[in-house]
Structure 1
Amino acid sequence: MKMAFAAALAVTFVSSLAVAQEQPAAAVGVIAYPPAFFAEMGPSTALDMVQRLPGFSFDKGAVVRGLAGASGNVLIDGEPPVSKNDTLEEILKRIPHGSVARIDVIRGGAPGVDMQGRTVIANVVRKQGAGARGAASFSTQPLYDGRVLNAFRAEGQWRWDGKLVELSMVNGKGPDDTLGDGPRVRYGPNGKPIIVSDVDADSQGLREWVTGAFETPMARGRLRLNGAYMKTTSTSEIYDRLSVPGPALEYEYITPDRLQAELGGRFVRTFGATSLEALAFQQWNNLDTKARFESAAVDRLFHSDKQVTETVGRVNLRRRISSDLALEAGVEGAFNALDSNTTLIVNGFKVVVPAADVRVEEARAEPYVVATWRPSTDLTIEGALRQEVSKITSTGDVNLEKSLSFTKPRLAVTWAPSPLNQWRGRLEREVSQLNFDDFVASSSVASTGVLIAGNPDLSPQQAWVIEGAYERRFWTSGAAVLTLRHYELTDVIDRAPIRVGLVVAD
């Protein structure tokens, strides 16, 4: 077992003539920020506005399988986006600031709001008036090495008779600042340099993205459909001129090409005090990576082809029992598959790589219940219980079958003795997801020749989390937040060096 402790202090102050609006007592813990609050900052999009909310830190979400836990800490019209490749950050960039009616910051929970297991979220509320809005931009980036990278972006939305259409496209090139020019020095155990070189590296990518969404009333409820097609190609070229251990030139050329596509849908209908939400999501994600390394002593060819598919469905029921108590129950099911093929050739000889040709499948279900009780206007208690069950199989180079089951309770308490003070506490068992990339081999894409070898026989990391936070609001738009968080970790996933033939697997 490992323990981890974290503490954070955040202080935010924004000067503005517009004052944030406290909500009525029934929604204590909700502060509404109108567009006028952000006027002095000159925002262009909803993302600009979210990033300037006092006492709020934007989280775009995690890359996980399934929808639970994948969304960030921002809702749009009270709902999280049903998308993954089309990230929350990109979605907020497409919402013009003129389309925003207000942004609510919700601390501790509010009636009818799905907090997504978080203690603080923001809700972007859009204007519902009919009409069309759009924007287009063109950018050019002249680089020091003579390259000129151009990009075009356009988005628009049309709202009429309760319907909504959104379209967006991006087509253009951009630099990759993870690589650059400069000296490289590597030291040995005795402190003396064993490699001294000068690196000349260029990298760029091309985005060809099209996304869209359609909303309409249907069957006395509301249906939203969204889709995305995103092609991203990139190249990296590296010249490494060594002076130690001797004059030499090393060359590497890397081409990772990614194709992503997704379709998602959400249907919501209210039956008196009960609301029904049904979600469906399908994505395809293909990544083809080629890397060639050349030097006087080594000629290395690496090729990895990964194809990922995901199918997710979820049904959720919420019922308000009284003004003080709300119950929620639902179930999410998902099927994920990864097909990975990896080859490595060194000096003309094929090197055996562990877990190089593997298919991994996961079938997972997660039923859950949530109860939110507000015994008084200044106290909110939320209890949740989730049961995650999954079956993972691996075929190909490694044949393995594993069944997993985890109970994940959660208790969150929010106490707001005054509009300026709020205390929050959380006790929760968190269970991470096994990363499919840990099951298969991959390259570090570096001239060291180190590979990341797969290990299908893994267990997910688990943690008991104890968290406490105090928030103090001051003046008209300032906030200071102190958060203390403690983790009790088990089954931590790490890496260890393993020598395999001519290369080192990690």
Structure 2
Amino acid sequence: MSVRFGRGVATAASAVALMAGAGAAGAQTASPAVGLAAPKPASTQGPQPAGQPDRVTGRRTYDAAWFRTFAPATALQIVERVPGFTIERIDGSVRGFGGAAGNVVVNGQRPSAKSDTVETILSRIPAGRVVRVEVGPGDLYGAEFTGKPQVLNLVTSATGGLAGTLTGAVRRDYTGKLFPEGSASALLRSGKSTFNLALNIDNENTAQEGFDRVTSLPNDALVEYRYRVNRYREPVAALSGSWEYNDGANRTAHLNARAATDRFALDQSNWVDPTGRPRREDSLTSRTTVNEYELGGDVTRPLAGGGIKLIGLATRRHRDSDDLSLVDLFGSNGPGPTGFSQSLADRESETLARLVWNRSGWNGWNVEIGAEGVINRLRSRVNLFDLDAGGGQTRIDLPVDDATVRERRGEAFVNVGRALSPALRVDGGMTVEASRLTVSGDVDARRTLSFLKPKLVLDWRFAPGWRAQLSAQRTVNQLQFTDFISVAELGSDRVNGGNAQLVPQRSWELLGTLEYPILGDGLVRLEAGYTRISLVQDRVPTPEGFDAPGNLGTGTVAIARARVEAPLKTLGVKGGRLTLYGSYVPTFVTDPYTLTTRRFTNNSDFYGSAEFRQDLGSFAWGVLAENGTSSTSFRREETDRSFRGIYTQVFAEWRPTKTSVVTATLENALARPTYRERLFYAPDRTSPTPVTREFRRRNGLVVPMLTFKRTFG
């Protein structure tokens, strides 16, 4: 009987990253940022129409009045309407503070927290507290953003008193069940202090049905047909609080705290028809609990004509998971069900301190010098058992299923920049990183790593409206601690082996950007780049007969991206706006089994989207369509390819008052299904011809949702 390893362990609710609510309504009504953000150059071209770049700084500015057409209720809805800007998603597993910068700041600063997503932070700020939005090159907002083509600065008012947001939503699944969720936040400004308290309750519930068809190759003869129904439930609750003290430039302090809990549940029912044998019923259940806590703060004081900022952050995460896979529940082929059970428990912690000194206008240079120290630890244990028909269980030893991973990492950095002329700016920097990594338990591995990471950015405004940027830098990927640990996937016939010898990949990246405004406040942006990677992190065979995360040879990445955002008023469509985006990013590396060139594991070459939105006074409507090419996981004995039909979303909004919005949304409006194809090879992929094919289809389901948002203050 084959092991059925599958969807089992849920991904923990990650601590995704950018900033905390402490600065959400910090006082600022002028452009220069408080704290350590690099202020704009002393001279600018002067006031510009909304969306037109300043010829000196490249900054585009939109005041609050520009967004009234959209009747936004929160700062998030304002940011989502900024032409040509997309919030950068940060990997929640990024360790340290410097690597989680993102591309959004509030009043010129990144508060000292990582757990709340930027969308969550912005959704807590009432739209009425927003004075303006500025979008410009990253160097305008601090050296840690150098090289980012765009960083958005949300400038809030100094208005005192109480403000807040309330959000309620209800989602309906295909069975007719309703699932409510909501959030509430309150923000109080008194004198130089701002206090924020927020509660978020998400209630993700989805249902999925479809079939698996297993055939033998090359004749494609049916081996087994499975009808499956999956139900996922994931309620998440998070409570956040923060305090900000703002006494002007380089005289600020923040304190942030957050506690969150995540409860994931999967219940899967399978009706299986093997060729030539009786029908059987299988099942898979998975339960995961994640509790997370974070405490952070910072203080900034004047020093030597600039400011010095000390940041401290501590995060703790506890995850416990139990999975159970049973085959032949009613014993049609034997005395009782057989299967597998797995339990996983891990404890992860991060403690860091970061010290930064910043000074602008020092002989024409902006200078930032700093250092960061981080201690990370993961303690993980996995227990996998084979269950026999009589109820007995036998433990299955996995490579590296009981281990502790520790990392002590430090970095020192210097960043400098200056304007060489009114149209040309140069920024550069150097980071020195060193770490000591140990793995103990089932294996004993130790190594010391050190890297130099230089970067150089040229920003050129060579003609009215035109802007070009060229950046070159060396980057080093962070290792995922969970890649050191082995774990089974109950339901997919496979084990993810752990690899204590994994090392981070290193890249040289070259990227060019060209942008130009169109049709008033519209924008066209083109990007092209090339990346050369050594020690590509992918999947490799292990001596125990599994595959695991590991390092391949040299790989390359080509980058071509385009974004067009066009207001359609001048074309006769009142309140209309069209956004088109396309990304073609092929990757190339030599496969360790076939010795031929292939894509990186799970890389999708092309992604494209089109969005139309029309705002008509108190009403608005819009449609989004997106799709991408398939992605493939290249494993020892199989290739696992995932793809789907075009995804669409349709919405309609009604704004009964200036502070409230009602939105009706249809997710996956065309009910497109998703697909997965697994090709199996014997004994592994050194054999060029697959012997078995498993094709999965999950029916696309339309998910209606109704949301109400209201702000006050």
State the TM-score, normalized to the length of structure 1: 0.90
Asked whether the 8 Å contact 1:61–1:88 carries over to 2, the reply is no
Is 1:364–2:409 an aligned residue pair? yes
Counterparts of 1:300 and 1:335, CA distance in 2 = 36
Q: Do the aligned partners of residues 126 and 188 (structure 1) sit closer, same or farther apart at CA in structure 2, a change above 3 Å counting?
A: farther
CA shift at 1:399, angstroms?
0.9
Percentage of matched positions with identical amino acids:
25
Asked whether the 8 Å contact 1:102–1:126 carries over to 2, the reply is yes
Query: Paired residue for 2:697?
Result: none
Q: Do the aligned partners of residues 218 and 346 (structure 1) sit closer, same or farther apart at CA in structure 2, a change above 3 Å counting?
A: farther
Counterparts of 1:192 and 1:181, CA distance in 2 = 24
Asked whether the 8 Å contact 1:256–1:290 carries over to 2, the reply is yes
Instruction: Encode CA deviations 1:455-485: one digit per residue, 9 max, x unaligned.
Output: 1111101110011111111232111111001
Asked whether the 8 Å contact 1:60–1:89 carries over to 2, the reply is no
SS at match of 1:109: helix
Counterparts of 1:251 and 1:173, CA distance in 2 = 24
Counterparts of 2:78 and 2:214, CA distance in 1 = 44
Query: Paired residue for 2:83?
Result: 54
After TM superposition, the runs of 4+ consecutive aligned structure 1 residues lying more than 6 A away are 503-506
Is 1:248–2:288 an aligned residue pair? no
CA shift at 1:112, angstroms?
5.7
Asked whether the 8 Å contact 1:29–1:108 carries over to 2, the reply is no
The answer to which of 93-102 and 160-169 deviates more is 93-102
Query: Paired residue for 1:124?
Result: 154
Asked whether the 8 Å contact 1:432–1:462 carries over to 2, the reply is yes
Instruction: Encode CA deviations 1:24-49: one digit per residue, 9 max, x unaligned.
Output: 66x52111111222222232322222
Q: Do the aligned partners of residues 477 and 379 (structure 1) sit closer, same or farther apart at CA in structure 2, a change above 3 Å counting?
A: same
Query: Paired residue for 1:336?
Result: 376
Is 1:136–2:166 an aligned residue pair? yes
For residues 419-430 of structure 1, the aligned pairs below 5 Å read 419-430=464-475
Is 1:222–2:262 an aligned residue pair? no
Asked whether the 8 Å contact 1:69–1:116 carries over to 2, the reply is no
Asked whether the 8 Å contact 1:233–1:258 carries over to 2, the reply is yes
- RMSD of the alignment, in Å? 2.3
Pick from 110, 116, 121: which aligns with 1:91? 121
CA shift at 1:163, angstroms?
0.6
Asked whether the 8 Å contact 1:360–1:436 carries over to 2, the reply is yes
Paired amino acid for 1:212: G
Is 1:231–2:275 an aligned residue pair? no
Q: Do the aligned partners of residues 187 and 484 (structure 1) sit closer, same or farther apart at CA in structure 2, a change above 3 Å counting?
A: farther
Paired amino acid for 1:280: G
Counterparts of 2:369 and 2:348, CA distance in 1 = 30
Is 1:489–2:533 an aligned residue pair? yes
Query: Paired residue for 2:649?
Result: none
Query: Paired residue for 1:9?
Result: none
Instruction: Encode CA deviations 1:96-138: one digit per residue, 9 max, x unaligned.
Output: 2222111110125327675255232111111111111112233
Asked whether the 8 Å contact 1:79–1:114 carries over to 2, the reply is no
Count the aligned residue pairs.
484
Query: Paired residue for 2:603?
Result: none
Pick from 84, 97, 103: which aligns with 2:133? 103
Pick from 37, 40, 44: which aligns with 2:73? 44
Counterparts of 2:224 and 2:437, CA distance in 1 = 43
Asked whether the 8 Å contact 2:273–2:280 carries over to 1, the reply is yes
The answer to which of 138-147 and 236-245 deviates more is 138-147
Q: Do the aligned partners of residues 193 and 92 (structure 1) sit closer, same or farther apart at CA in structure 2, a change above 3 Å counting?
A: farther
Q: Do the aligned partners of residues 120 and 271 (structure 1) sit closer, same or farther apart at CA in structure 2, a change above 3 Å counting?
A: same
Asked whether the 8 Å contact 1:61–1:73 carries over to 2, the reply is no
Counterparts of 1:172 and 1:115, CA distance in 2 = 31
Counterparts of 2:372 and 2:470, CA distance in 1 = 27
- Comparing both structures, which one devotes a greater share of its residues to strand? 1
The answer to which of 113-122 and 305-314 deviates more is 113-122
Counterparts of 2:174 and 2:472, CA distance in 1 = 52
CA shift at 1:192, angstroms?
3.5
CA shift at 1:21, angstroms?
5.8
Asked whether the 8 Å contact 1:62–1:69 carries over to 2, the reply is no
Counterparts of 1:418 and 1:37, CA distance in 2 = 26
Instruction: Encode CA deviations 1:6-38: one digit per residue, 9 max, x unaligned.
Output: xxxxxxxxxxxx95165766x521111112222
Counterparts of 1:455 and 1:82, CA distance in 2 = 33
Query: Paired residue for 1:407?
Result: 452
SS at match of 1:484: strand
Is 1:468–2:512 an aligned residue pair? yes
Counterparts of 1:381 and 1:478, CA distance in 2 = 27
Instruction: Encode CA deviations 1:355-403: one digit per residue, 9 max, x unaligned.
Output: 1110110000010001102111111101110011000011111111110
Q: Do the aligned partners of residues 173 and 57 (structure 1) sit closer, same or farther apart at CA in structure 2, a change above 3 Å counting?
A: closer
Instruction: Encode CA deviations 1:64-85: one digit per residue, 9 max, x unaligned.
Output: 1101111311111111242222
CA shift at 1:504, angstroms?
8.1
Counterparts of 2:86 and 2:477, CA distance in 1 = 22
Asked whether the 8 Å contact 2:143–2:416 carries over to 1, the reply is no
Counterparts of 1:111 and 1:251, CA distance in 2 = 53
Asked whether the 8 Å contact 1:21–1:32 carries over to 2, the reply is yes
Paired amino acid for 2:482: D
For residues 214-363 of structure 1, the aligned pairs below 5 Å read 214-217=243-246, 221-245=251-275, 246=277, 247-271=279-303, 273-296=305-328, 298-322=338-362, 324-347=364-387, 348-363=393-408
CA shift at 1:266, angstroms?
1.6
Instruction: Encode CA deviations 1:181-209: one digit per residue, 9 max, x unaligned.
Output: 11222344323443321111111111221
SS at match of 1:407: strand
Asked whether the 8 Å contact 2:375–2:407 carries over to 1, the reply is yes
Paired amino acid for 2:187: Q
Counterparts of 1:356 and 1:499, CA distance in 2 = 15
SS at match of 1:180: strand
The answer to which of 28-37 and 344-353 deviates more is 28-37
Paired amino acid for 2:64: P
Paired amino acid for 1:293: S
Counterparts of 2:426 and 2:300, CA distance in 1 = 26
Counterparts of 1:112 and 1:455, CA distance in 2 = 37
Q: Do the aligned partners of residues 228 and 485 (structure 1) sit closer, same or farther apart at CA in structure 2, a change above 3 Å counting?
A: same
Q: Do the aligned partners of residues 128 and 193 (structure 1) sit closer, same or farther apart at CA in structure 2, a change above 3 Å counting?
A: farther
Paired amino acid for 2:417: T
Instruction: Encode CA deviations 1:413-472: one digit per residue, 9 max, x unaligned.
Output: 00012341001001100100011011112233x412422111111110111001111111
SS at match of 2:139: coil
Paired amino acid for 2:529: R
Counterparts of 1:127 and 1:186, CA distance in 2 = 61
Counterparts of 1:316 and 1:134, CA distance in 2 = 33
CA shift at 1:211, angstroms?
0.6
Is 1:479–2:523 an aligned residue pair? yes
The answer to which of 120-129 and 265-274 deviates more is 265-274
Query: Paired residue for 1:7?
Result: none
Counterparts of 1:23 and 1:467, CA distance in 2 = 21
Query: Paired residue for 1:387?
Result: 432
Pick from 201, 212, 233: which aligns with 1:171? 201
State the TM-score, normalized to the length of structure 2: 0.65
Query: Paired residue for 2:227?
Result: 198
Asked whether the 8 Å contact 2:198–2:240 carries over to 1, the reply is yes
Instruction: Encode CA deviations 1:154-190: one digit per residue, 9 max, x unaligned.
Output: 11101110110111102353214xx611122234432
Instruction: Encode CA deviations 1:315-352: one digit per residue, 9 max, x unaligned.
Output: 00112244731111100110000000000001211000
